[in-house]
Amino acid sequence: MSHATNIMTTNSEITLANRWDHFLARWAVNRMGHLIEPGLYSLGNPTPESPVFVTANYTLSFDALRSSLKGADSYILVLDTQGINVWCAAGKGTFGTDELVMRIEATRLNEVVTHRVLILPQLGASGVAAHEIKKRAHFKVEYGPVRAEDLPEYLKTRKATPEMRRVRFTLKDRITLIPVELVAVLIPLLILILIGSKGAVAAILAGTILFPILLPWIPSHDFSVKGVILGGIVAVPFAVLAFTKTPESALWLRSAWALVYALLIPPLTAYLTLNFTGSTTFTSRTGVRKEIFAYVPAMAWMFGIGIALNIALIFVPK
């Protein structure tokens, strides 16, 4: 059997440099720069009978896989997902059928292994048509467990238990998302802090920090509704303060100032919560599109009316 050229090597060790790369990726520093070269990698001392795992070229995905395969001689086929993790890349189509077929052919994988089985992460299933891989590349697709950490147990039987198939989105998983979202709004957040816009600051912090923490317990399936509910709760103390701050003012004026917070904070928080739709187990691609078209216009109108009312009240004599 002839062997493909350009088989790269890797190992299961996670170095200090790798951990630093992971930290930077979590904080969205050089967000699209955390990638490795696509292609075929050998882990340990694989033979033609060794298993072949498929993953994305996002460093966190690649490192999670290889570190879980300590002592397992194998091959890792890395797809070009443009530095995006498996789940998101499957939704975008880069962890997909065409890319997998092309990568199999480019690495001449059929000359490297004698079997014709590929082990894919379960979260990549939405992007890959297994029957097309069989038809076009003559490899069978086998879906491994959701989490790479379950691979050692999975490899003992090559069968995933129901628990391995279950997608968990724990508090730890949700908190991990916070740094990226905070960095995305850091500049406007700092500006709002400097100008003393406490309501807007609270709305942003609620949408980026409180929301992922409280996600499972906020009523409703729609993220927009969840965001409005959370934003409404955050708006209450600001509205109450605005209503009671100047008791000598007319009732309508105090009510109007309270209404400003009720109109501005909920849609701002809700808009930020939509950033989490692609990284949770609560939504689907079609559901997200439907929600955006249904709720974003209403959120925009609500926010716009709040801005207009705020501007108008500025010119009302004290």
119 and 245 both lie in a single domain:
no
What share of the chain in percent tops pLDDT 90?
71
pTM of the model: 0.81
Domain presence at residue 222: yes
pLDDT of residue 1: 46
89 and 147 both lie in a single domain:
yes
- Summarize the confidence of residues 65-84 as an average pLDDT: 95
Q: Please state the domain count of the chain.
A: 2
Confidence of residue 74 (pLDDT cuts 50, 70, 90): very high
Instruction: Please give the residue range of the domain that contains residue 147.
Output: 8-167
The average confidence (pLDDT) of the chain is: 91
Question: Can you spell out the DSSP letters for 53-84?
Answer: EEEESBHHHHHHHHHHTTT--EEEEEE--TT-
- Summarize the confidence of residues 154-160 as an average pLDDT: 91
pLDDT at 128 over 90: yes
102 and 146 both lie in a single domain:
yes
CA distance 280 to 294: 20
pLDDT in tens, 84-112: 999 888 877 899 999 999 999 999 999 99
pLDDT at 36 over 50: yes
260 and 123 both lie in a single domain:
no
CA distance 280 to 264: 26
32 and 158 both lie in a single domain:
yes
Domain presence at residue 258: yes
- Which of 135, 167, 199 terminates a domain? The answer is 167
Residue 64's DSSP bridge partners are none
The dihedrals phi and psi of 189, each to the nearest 5 degrees, come to -65, -45
19 and 161 both lie in a single domain:
yes
Give me the amino acid identity at 301. Answer: W
224 and 269 both lie in a single domain:
yes
Q: Are 290 and 318 in contact (CB under 8 A)?
A: no
pLDDT at 160 over 70: yes
pLDDT in tens, 140-151: 999 999 999 999
- Between these two residues, 186 and 5, which has the higher pLDDT value? 186
pLDDT at 157 over 60: yes
Q: Are 243 and 256 in contact (CB under 8 A)?
A: no
